[in-house]
Amino acid sequence: MRAVDAIIECLKAEGVEHVFGIPGGANLPTYDALYDGGVRHIQCRHEQGAGHAAEGYAKASGRVGVALATSGPGATNLVTPIADAMMDSVPTVFITGQVRTDLIGTDGFQEADVSGITLPIVKHSMMIQDPREIPEAIHTAFHIASTGRPGPVLVDIPQDLSRADIDYEPVDRVNLPGYQPTTEGNAKQIRLAAKALANARRPVIYAGGGVISAEAAKELTELGESDRFPVTCTVMGLGAFPAPHDHWLGMLGMHGTRAANYAMDEADLICCIGARFDDRITGKLSEFAPRAKFIHIDVDPAEISKNVPAHIPIVGDAKKILPKLTREYRALESDSARLDGWWERIRNWRDKHPLRYEDSVDSEIKPQWMIQALYQATGGDAVVTSDVGQHQMWTAQHYDFAKPRRWINSGGLGTMGFGLPSAMGAKVAMPDEQVVCVAGDGSLIMNVQELATCVTEEIPVKVMIMNNGYLGMVRQWQELFWDRRYSSVDMGSSPDWVKLAEAFGAKGVQLTQKESLVDDMKEALAEDGPVVVDVRVTPEENCYPMIPAGQAARDMVG
Amino acid sequence: MGEPATKEVLNLEDLQVSGGVSTGRKHVLSILSENKPGVLARIAGLFARRGFNIESLAVGPTDDPSISRFTLTVDGAAHPIDQVTKQLHKLINVIKIRDLEPEETVARELALFKISADDNARAQIMQFTDIFRGKVVDVSKRSVTVEVTGSDDKIEAFEQMVRPFGLIEMVRTGEIAVSRGRGTT
């Protein structure tokens, strides 16, 4: 059997039904095998789009996303999605073609050292040197990508090796002596954490994307409800705890709610689950949660005490640890009345500082209203992807995600142009779900070519452009911190989004009236095919509240 | 998981941080890895991008040809050593890491010193070489090359002694180490 046919067999054995990619010289053999191999290939228009589609597929479904590219420029175009998948721990496998082995190191046509280039941004990578290694390498890649802390794995296969004949035998186990993720969680530490929670008077549960990766949203909710524990999530964790909920503080961090950030600031105990104390959460590290002790639960031991020293570290899988913690906590029968004062304080923040904005006096659409209208138009139950910037933060603030895997965005790397291709991948993974991309006008243009993929491959995603004519978040920073010197943030009047959508064969609509926005959105969402909705919003609206970069929660503005 | 916890009071103030603290001393890490292409690049790249500084590094095969050993010294004052080892552990090819305790470890390094030496100096240099149990491995009219083996302190002491004669070149291998006693490192 050709090695490439073995690759397809391995993909099928891993349960792969869809792959995203673009063919080229060095991966021609793989595409020959795909021709009638029985795995659906989504032919993207740019490898970056294929990579983000694989991420969207993985984030929406929890299954491993797969993207293929040829050598050289095909492979280097995957660099951004690989880095993105690394930062957000997305289970993905990238299979790249490489030039023939006799050309490696000669600066051959379309040669690039993709293993070297991606070394700092992969969970693991393998450069194939013998065709007989290929089946085990593919299974190893899936195993590493999907277990422990998930992440991207690259398999680089020289063209001549991929067409070699090998004796293929199904691989049932992989041999990784140095890779055994800890999952169970230390029982003593869990008990200690339960006791600490029982003795805390101002506790906060701070959860991140790890809870979603671990499929532990239900377990998180049970822990939160085992007492009156206030819960906040990072932008990656939204949906891990159902919003709205009595215990829900809203998102925390730079554009989080005051209730969430002030609660972190005054907490005496913070229980961090599957999050990593990123600078967008902590602000000024030396003034972060100065009164708190920390429980830190994470499957990746290197995250513990990386940024904030933990007092009770627990390494393992949240899905296994949280039920034990909840059970231990309940057994302590702690008196909930100790939290009365804390809740009084939190309620006070909530009442005094709800998320709010000033509505327009005319029919202009405020960006915040756009997201609230989308919530109404979708019944609050769509899979929503976004690009990066103001629209991303407004969506995070105003679309109350009640379930996990409904909110797909680029949190760590902050990749503009992520929204459309990831929506495409999400829709392929979950064809029965309504999938909406909330795009920025600055971001969408970066990967707009994937509209062609959506049309030709019949992937009916709906794109809602929050069109303010600016690189809005940069403009906001220039306004607030650079004396309003607007440098290279005006997007001008190009493109005409409706015509652009139509040129791609999609439907295009422009919306400008706030009164009819919900109904107009519903109409667009009811269309069968891909739709681009150009929603014109207030050009110079700022996203608030905000912790200015490098400052503390107490310094929130707006 | 046994019996649930008892209701005794735990004072949050008594909780101590675990990890993330610098030890302030030099650490010798002995790392076993799969003998696969690119492992050195992965380890070196990890140190570079996390801003950790490698003081010395020695790599070689072990008694098992499928496994390599890296002996790496890191300044524990500059970086929390547990963060260094945890990041190293994340490399899939890394099998085992041991942070060797100085008292329970035999560490050696080999160094070659090329020292400028006329007839007068040569005798003195050879005297120092004897005291340090080194070996003269090359002699020319105007130079002498000495091999010294030992701990890094000893090598640094020898360097201090011979530097006044005019040190033309010095090459050091970086420390290698094994644990004392019968157990494996």
Residue B127 lies in a domain: yes
Q: What is the ipTM of this complex?
A: 0.89
Residue A260 lies in a domain: yes
Contacts with B42 from chain A: Cβ below 8 Å: 119
Which residue on chain B is closest to A321 by alpha carbon? B1
Contacts with A302 from chain B: Cβ below 8 Å: 83, 86-87, 89-90
Residue A554 lies in a domain: no
CA distance linking residue A146 with residue A137, whole number of Å? 14
**What one-letter code names the amino acid at A460?**
P
Which residues have C-beta within 8 Å of that of residue A353, sequence separation ≥ 6? A257, A258, A259, A545
* Same domain? A335 vs A426: no
Q: How many residues does chain B have?
A: 185
Task: Decide the pairing of beta strands A124-127 and B26-34.
Answer: unpaired
Q: Which of A296, A317, A352 is the last residue of a domain?
A: A352
* Same domain? A343 vs A450: no
Residue B1 lies in a domain: no
Q: Which of B18, B177, B19 is CA-nearest to residue B103?
A: B177
Hey, is the C-beta of B19 within 8 angstroms of any chain A C-beta?
Answer: yes
Beta strand extents in A381-518 (DSSP E only)? 383-386, 407-408, 435-440, 462-467, 507-511
User: Tens digit of pLDDT per residue, chain A (558 long)?
Assistant: 999 999 999 999 999 999 999 999 999 999 999 999 999 999 999 999 999 999 999 999 999 999 999 999 999 999 999 999 999 999 999 999 999 999 999 999 999 999 999 999 999 999 999 999 999 999 999 999 999 999 999 999 999 999 999 999 999 889 999 999 999 999 999 999 999 999 999 999 999 999 999 999 999 999 999 999 999 999 999 999 999 999 999 999 999 999 999 999 999 999 999 999 999 999 999 999 999 999 999 999 999 999 999 999 999 999 999 999 999 999 999 999 999 999 999 999 999 999 999 999 999 999 999 999 999 999 999 999 999 999 999 999 999 999 999 999 999 999 999 999 999 999 999 999 999 999 999 999 999 999 999 999 999 999 999 999 999 999 999 999 999 999 999 999 999 999 999 999 999 999 999 999 999 999 999 999 999 999 999 999 999 999 998 899 999 998
CA distance linking residue A72 with residue A25, whole number of Å? 10
* Same domain? A118 vs A228: no
Flag whether pLDDT at B6 surpasses 70.
no
* Same domain? A54 vs A105: yes
CA distance linking residue A53 with residue A146, whole number of Å? 17
* Same domain? A30 vs A154: yes
Q: Which of B62, B72, B4 is CA-nearest to residue A332?
A: B4
Hey, is the C-beta of B14 within 8 angstroms of any chain A C-beta?
Answer: no
Beta strand extents in A73-145 (DSSP E only)? 92-98, 124-127
Token pair of A540, please? 């110079």
Q: Note the pLDDT of residue B102.
A: 86
Q: Which of A213, A169, A176 is CA-nearest to residue A6?
A: A169
Tell me the sheet residues that pair with B60. Answer: B69
* Same domain? A139 vs A235: no
Q: Which of A120, A135, A212 is CA-nearest to residue A171?
A: A135
Tell me the sheet residues that pair with B169. Answer: B114
Helix (H) or strand (E) holding A426: helix A419-429
- Distance (Å) from the C-alpha of residue A329 to the closest C-alpha of chain B? 8
CATH number at residue A153: 3.40.50.970
Selected for mutation to probe chain A from B49, B86, B97 (highest A CB count within 10 Å) is B86
* Same domain? B67 vs B42: yes
CA distance linking residue A163 with residue A137, whole number of Å? 16
* Same domain? B55 vs B119: no
| Total domains present in chain A | 3
* Same domain? A74 vs A146: yes
Q: Is A538 exposed, middle or buried (0-12, 13-18, 19+ CB in 10 A)?
A: middle
Average pLDDT over residues B61-75: 94
- A171-198 as b/e, with b when 16 or more CB fall inside 10 Å? beeeebebbeeebebbeebbbbbbbbbb
B5 and A332: CB-CB below 8 Å? Answer: yes
Residue B185 lies in a domain: no
Query: Look-up: residue for tokens 């010798």?
Result: B28
A310 and B20: CB-CB below 8 Å? Answer: yes
* Same domain? A157 vs A212: no
- Is the separation of the CB atoms in A123 and A153 below 8 Å? yes
CA distance linking residue A545 with residue A520, whole number of Å? 29
* Same domain? B25 vs B91: yes
Cα atoms in the 13 Å half-sphere on the side-chain side of A227 = 30
Task: Decide the pairing of beta strands A248-251 and A231-233.
Answer: parallel
- Is the separation of the CB atoms in B182 and B130 below 8 Å? no
Q: Is the peptide bond before A244 cis (omega within 30 degrees of 0)?
A: yes
The mean pLDDT of chain B is: 91
Using DSSP, state whether A274 is helix, strand or coil.
coil
For B145-170, how does the pLDDT look when each residue is reduced to its tens digit (9 = 90+)? 999 999 989 999 999 999 999 999 99
Residue A509 lies in a domain: yes
Sign for the CA dihedral angle at A81, A393, A288, A474 comes to: positive
Residue A205 lies in a domain: yes
* Same domain? B129 vs B84: no
Residue A17 lies in a domain: yes
Flag whether pLDDT at B139 surpasses 80.
yes
* Same domain? A527 vs A437: yes
Hey, is the C-beta of B20 within 8 angstroms of any chain A C-beta?
Answer: yes
Rg, chain A, Cα only: 24
| Total domains present in chain B | 2
- Is the separation of the CB atoms in A41 and A203 below 8 Å? no
Of B20, B34, B91, the CB nearest to A177: B34
Domain enclosing residue B167, as ranges: 106-179
- Is the separation of the CB atoms in A492 and A464 below 8 Å? no
Flag whether pLDDT at B5 surpasses 80.
no
Flag whether pLDDT at B3 surpasses 80.
no
Selected for mutation to probe chain B from A304, A315, A333 (highest B CB count within 10 Å) is A304
Average pLDDT over residues B64-91: 91
Contacts with B20 from chain A: Cβ below 8 Å: 305-306, 308-310
CA distance linking residue A422 with residue A92, whole number of Å? 13
* Same domain? B119 vs B157: yes
Residue B110 lies in a domain: yes
Of A190, A195, A310, the CB nearest to B17: A310
Sign for the CA dihedral angle at A358, A362, A366, A370 comes to: positive
Which residues have C-beta within 8 Å of that of residue A32, sequence separation ≥ 6? A4
* Same domain? B76 vs B58: yes
Flag whether pLDDT at B1 surpasses 50.
no
- CB count in 10 Å sphere of residue A111: 18
Angle, CA B36 vertex, CA B30 and CA B42 arms, to 5°: 65
CA distance linking residue A127 with residue A154, whole number of Å? 8
Residue A174 lies in a domain: no
Which residues have C-beta within 8 Å of that of residue B173, sequence separation ≥ 6? B58, B109, B110, B111
Residue A112 lies in a domain: yes
> Ramachandran region of residue B12, left (φ > 0), alpha (ψ -120 to 50) or beta?
alpha
Which residues have C-beta within 8 Å of that of residue B139, sequence separation ≥ 6? B122, B145
Residue B51 lies in a domain: yes
Residue with the bigger pLDDT between B21 and A144: it is A144
Residue B16 lies in a domain: no
Q: Note the pLDDT of residue A172.
A: 87
Token pair of A294, please? 């920390």
Token pair of A290, please? 């100065």
The alpha carbon torsion through A373, A374, A378, A384 (nearest 10 deg) reads -160
* Same domain? B124 vs B155: yes
* Same domain? A415 vs A531: yes
Task: Decide the pairing of beta strands B94-100 and B26-34.
Answer: antiparallel
Whole-number percent of chain B with pLDDT over 70: 96
Contact map slice: B 24-43 vs A, CB within 8 A: 33-34, 37-38, 41-42
Residue B2 lies in a domain: no
Q: What is the pTM of this model?
A: 0.95
* Same domain? A13 vs A134: yes
* Same domain? B29 vs B72: yes
* Same domain? A378 vs A432: yes
CATH number at residue B116: 3.30.70.1150
- Is the separation of the CB atoms in B71 and B29 below 8 Å? yes
Query: Look-up: residue for tokens 């706030």?
Result: A514
Domain enclosing residue A98, as ranges: 3-162
Residue A12 lies in a domain: yes
CA distance linking residue B119 with residue B110, whole number of Å? 26
* DSSP 8-state assignment for residue A443: H
Instruction: Give the end-to-end CA distance of chain A in Å, rounded to a whole number.
Output: 64
Q: List the alpha helices (DSSP H) in chain B.
A: 39-50, 81-89, 119-131, 152-166
Using DSSP, state whether B92 is helix, strand or coil.
coil
Residue B12 lies in a domain: no
